[in-house]
C-alpha cells in the first residue's frame, strides 16, 4: 500500500509540474511579447472593389498587470496609395499552450499565431487567418509602455484615418463599405 501511495504521489507531482510548466512558458512568452513590434505582416484591405496593400505593420502588445498571459494593445497597418494612411484596431491577445490568439475588437475577428520564434529582438512565424497561413517577420522597436493612442486622431469608424479629408464625417461621405483586412502576399 505504501508503494502504491508513493506511485500515486509521484504521478500527481508529475502532472502538476507539467501543468505549471505550461503556464510558466505561456507567461514567459507573454512577457517577451510585450512592447512594440514593426515589420511586414502581408496585410491588404479590400474597399470599394479594390485591394490596397499595407507597406508595414506595427503591433503593440500591452500586458495585463493581473493576468500575465494576456492583455490588450493596438494593431496598425500603414498604407501608401490608399484612400487612408493607416487602418488601426484595438486588440485583445492571449497566450494559451504557446498559441497566440489576437482578437481585433473593431472588426470582431480573430487570428492565431503559430509555429513562431520569439526573442527580445525578433518575432517571426506564421499567422493563421482561417485556412490561410502567412509568414511574417517583425522586429522589436520599443519596450512596454503604458500610454494611450487617442492622440492619433481616430475618425469615422474609430479605426482608420482618411487621406481625402481629416474631418469627422470624411469617411461617411466617401465610403460605401468598410475596409476588410486580408492576410497574404501580394498577387
Going by C-alpha positions, the residue among 103, 82, 108, 81 that lies closest to residue 160 is 82
Going from N- to C-terminal start, the domains of the chain cover: 31-183
In DSSP notation, 159-178 reads TEEESS--STTHHHHH-SS-
Q: What is the pLDDT of residues 149-163, one digit of tens each?
A: 443 444 434 444 444
Which parts of the chain have pLDDT scores under 50?
16-21, 146-176
Please name the CATH architecture into which domain 31-183 falls.
Answer: Beta Barrel (2.40)
Amino acid at each position: 500500500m505504501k508503494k502504491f501511495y508513493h506511485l500515486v504521489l509521484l504521478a500527481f507531482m508529475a502532472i502538476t509540474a507539467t501543468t505549471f510548466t505550461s503556464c510558466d512558458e505561456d507567461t514567459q512568452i507573454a512577457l517577451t511579447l510585450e512592447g512594440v513590434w514593426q515589420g511586414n505582416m502581408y496585410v491588404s484591405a479590400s474597399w470599394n472593389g479594390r485591394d490596397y496593400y499595407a507597406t508595414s505593420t506595427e503591433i503593440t502588445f500591452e500586458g495585463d498587470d493581473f493576468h500575465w498571459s494576456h492583455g490588450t494593445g493596438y494593431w496598425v497597418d500603414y498604407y501608401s496609395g490608399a484612400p487612408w494612411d493607416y487602418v488601426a484596431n484595438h486588440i485583445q491577445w492571449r497566450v494559451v499552450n504557446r498559441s497566440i490568439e489576437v482578437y481585433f475588437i473593431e472588426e470582431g475577428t480573430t487570428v492565431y499565431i503559430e509555429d513562431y520564434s520569439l526573442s527580445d529582438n525578433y518575432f517571426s512565424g506564421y499567422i493563421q487567418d482561417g485556412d490561410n497561413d502567412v509568414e511574417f517577420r517583425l522586429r522589436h522597436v520599443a519596450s512596454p509602455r503604458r500610454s494611450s493612442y487617442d492622440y492619433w486622431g481616430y475618425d469615422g469608424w474609430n479605426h482608420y484615418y482618411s487621406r481625402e479629408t481629416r474631418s469627422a464625417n470624411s469617411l461617411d461621405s466617401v465610403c460605401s463599405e468598410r475596409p476588410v483586412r486580408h492576410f497574404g502576399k501580394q498577387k
